[in-house]
Structure 1
Amino acid sequence: MADTRVTSRPATGAPRPGRGTAPRLELPPPTGPRAVGVRTVHLVDDDREDPFRPGRPRELMAQLWYPARAGTGAVPGRYVSAAMSPLVVGAWEDWWAEERGCSGLPRGTAAGVAVHGAADAPPAPDARGCPLVLLSPGHAQYRAALTALGEDLASRGFLVAALDHPSDALGVEFPDGRIVPYREPDGLADGDTGDLATRYVPVRAADLRFARTRLTAPGFWWHALLDPSRAGVAGHSLGGAAAAEAMRLDPGLAAGADLDGTPYGEVLRTGLERPFLICQFTADDPEYPEEPRARERLWRGLRGPRHHLLVTGGGHESATDLDALAGPLGFRECTDPGDYADALGSLPEGRGVEITRACVGAFFERYLSGAEGTWCDTGAPPFPEVTAVG
């Protein structure tokens, strides 16, 4: 499902949270044994011109999570770095307000979500041979939207990098203060994916390929922790489509996962020979028949280990942090019921994040770390809401 279909605006006359006191917002703690550190890094691809900004190299911002020295992960950080400009933080909060229906929240609420990665914590001294997992968020979303998943993977021993895709993401700020605003895609109409398929997915796939190469290169600060031969990619919505296309382009990506994304691109023609997970949170919608057709076409082209999970009661945003934060944000109370169901379905608060962490974590443990006895081997995910349909 394309993110452009989820609009989640407040219902007329719906109650809104008061502006007096910000609710306490905190992501669920990671489930793995490791403490988690977090850093932000600026990546510049000098060999590629930015297609949205001619004459400039393609630049990315990435959020890095990694296993940290024991004891350092107890100091919570914040969702959005205080070092970011008010304009970018404001764009992030406006997205929550306008697109997620929480327009009554005090300024600073969304930016102040407590997280569990300790900023710039020293890496765990015994962390060696860690696999890398790249994360790509949904269209127009910020790299922080998959923080709960990123932190959890790091607590399991992975090095994780979530990317902002400039011009596709909300405002992206670079270290010199430049801000790249969001660019609305062209050519979207009923049944027409326009820029999403023909421009955004190829650019994102190239971003992911470059990030994998750069983050595994000798000289990058975490190289001593890394096994560069074991890298994977996962994405939500448009990021899931980009994950599959990036795997087609980059044989260095050994496993991939699509979290409720409609696949686009050449990968539908060529298929893949490496492990791939389709984690579908929304049931097929007869109004959008092209989505199950694309998913089935991808499925038929997966020639390596393949898994298709269907989460009963899920919504398009169930894999994202919104799933864990909707309750204290008052999202249900200030959102049209139909929009709420599209976004989060009928799962209990936090259940989508729990399912995502467990299923995606075990998938990468199986195919990047060689773990045995996971649900990938048994074919039975440990959740009553989750059915292995392939």
Structure 2
Amino acid sequence: MGLRTSVLLVLLASSPGLTFAKATLPIVASHHQDVMIASASLTDHARSDPYANDARPRSIMVSGFYPTTQCRRKKIKPYMPPVTASFMDTKFGAYGLPNGSFQSLSLETCMPPAKRGGCSKDLPVVLFSGALATSRHLYNAILQNIAATGYVVLSIDHPYDADMVEFPDGTIVTGVDIESDAEIELALNTRVADIEFVSKQMKNASAIKELLPGYAGAKNAPKMAVIGHSLGGAAAASAMMSITSLKGGVNLDGSMFGSVLTTGFNSPFMLMGHENKTQETDPSWKTIWPNLTGWKKEFEVKHSAHYSFSDLPLVISALGLDGKLPAQVGELLGSIEGRRMTGLTTTYVAAFLDMVLKGGKEGAFAKAGGRFTEVEEVA
């Protein structure tokens, strides 16, 4: 996870001098609404931060993506907040990626409406947790695409676990080393607690107002699902076991850990792995499979790699870097063009969410397979 990122940086080092213009990452979902984006710091006063040495309450950063039928005015929003973008530019630039790469990126979003109510009521909610040592912002485009298909998406940064978290007051929390089994277990348990805390905030009017301006709120408790990439996928599985409000979950390319492997659960769950990541190559997937007693599917995406399930392939395409990076980059990003990979991930995740949260049909997966021949149904 963190090692893979380091390898990617080294590979990029051999491509100095590349330049590009500013780019807006697109919504590629086949049917979509406009999306508003906001972010907020949320503090769980009932829980101490296990990584702090002063018993301070756990504070996290969350981004909210939510579709709107009342786009008052389009707005070009920076892909990342400025300090985070600078951090990423320095991190990647030290290995040869042109300075200003992440600062040059943006997303097209909407200004919040003057009055609350621009977002449809009673939309299902999707919680997202990303890879270890990876900022939540490196998934902004994929999550905007998922939101555009009709979901409120809440993306969580887990401080000290993510490589860098920027808070509105200027506080910066950088990542710690997480390598041993005990450290991974702590990170996993902390993520699950963060996910549960965020799920409960959908009943908190003040949190909703800050995180989802323009959202009128739901009349009833919203239906919820959880998605995770890498360690976030492991957290999604563990959250399914312990958080009863979750109706379904998706693990994108994550090995799993802990008691969930043998305990399992009976809610719908989808596994999607990169090429050669299946039950036959990942013991945790093989162990948990018979203990998933509800609806389940496993997919393998040919020509993809671990970070294909982030925004990085789309970023490289948008910046005009396709074919200009070392061939070894494919070991981490795969060879599927960025727009297509984003569309593929969005389509399969939305098919799952539609089935679990909106009463959609399982046949949507077969239809998606007709469009994306890279995807093989394994089980």
> TM-score range, shorter-chain basis?
0.7 to 0.9
| Counterpart position of 1:190 | none
1:5 is displaced (CA, Å) by 3.4
Task: State the superposition RMSD in angstroms.
Answer: 2.6
Does structure 1 conserve the Cα–Cα contact (< 8 Å) formed by 2:70 and 2:113?
no
Does structure 2 conserve the Cα–Cα contact (< 8 Å) formed by 1:243 and 1:257?
yes
1:389 is displaced (CA, Å) by 1.0
Corresponding residue SS for 1:114:
strand
| Counterpart position of 1:325 | 315
Identity %: 25
1:380 is displaced (CA, Å) by 4.8
| Counterpart position of 2:23 | 25
C-alpha spacing 1:74/1:126, structure 2 compared with 1 (3 Å): closer
More displaced 10-residue stretch of structure 1: 65-74 or 341-350: 65-74
Q: Where do 1:1-390 residues align within 5 Å?
A: 2-6=1-5, 7-11=7-11, 14-18=14-18, 21-31=19-29, 32-54=31-53, 55-72=55-72, 74-82=74-82, 86=83, 88-97=84-93, 103-107=96-100, 109-118=101-110, 120=112, 125=118, 127-187=120-180, 193=181, 195-196=183-184, 198-219=185-206, 220-221=208-209, 224-226=216-218, 228-284=221-277, 292-327=282-317, 328=319, 330=321, 333-335=324-326, 337-338=327-328, 340-372=329-361, 374-376=363-365, 380=369, 382-390=371-379
Structure 2, unaligned runs of 5 or more? none
- What code does the residue aligned with 1:211 have? V
Does structure 2 conserve the Cα–Cα contact (< 8 Å) formed by 1:65 and 1:117?
no
C-alpha spacing 1:377/1:105, structure 2 compared with 1 (3 Å): closer
More displaced 10-residue stretch of structure 1: 145-154 or 230-239: 145-154
1:219-238 deviation line (CA, Å, top 9, x unaligned): 53257443524001101111
Structure 1, unaligned runs of 5 or more? 188-192
Corresponding residue SS for 2:32:
coil
TM-score normalised according to structure 1 size: 0.86
- Equivalents in 1 of 2:234, 2:323: separation in Å? 28
- Matched positions, count: 368
- What code does the residue aligned with 2:204 have? A
- Equivalents in 2 of 1:129, 1:12: separation in Å? 44
1:41 is displaced (CA, Å) by 1.1
- Equivalents in 2 of 1:47, 1:290: separation in Å? 41
1:83-109 deviation line (CA, Å, top 9, x unaligned): xxx3x43222234335xx5x24123x2
1:307 is displaced (CA, Å) by 1.1
1:209 is displaced (CA, Å) by 0.9
Does structure 2 conserve the Cα–Cα contact (< 8 Å) formed by 1:167 and 1:181?
yes
Structure richer in helix, relative to its length: 2
Does structure 2 conserve the Cα–Cα contact (< 8 Å) formed by 1:262 and 1:291?
no
- What code does the residue aligned with 1:29 have? I
- What code does the residue aligned with 1:39 have? A
Does structure 2 conserve the Cα–Cα contact (< 8 Å) formed by 1:37 and 1:72?
no
Moved over 6 A (4+): none
Corresponding residue SS for 1:41:
strand
More displaced 10-residue stretch of structure 1: 124-133 or 43-52: 124-133
TM-score normalised according to structure 2 size: 0.88
Corresponding residue SS for 1:75:
strand
More displaced 10-residue stretch of structure 1: 351-360 or 121-130: 121-130
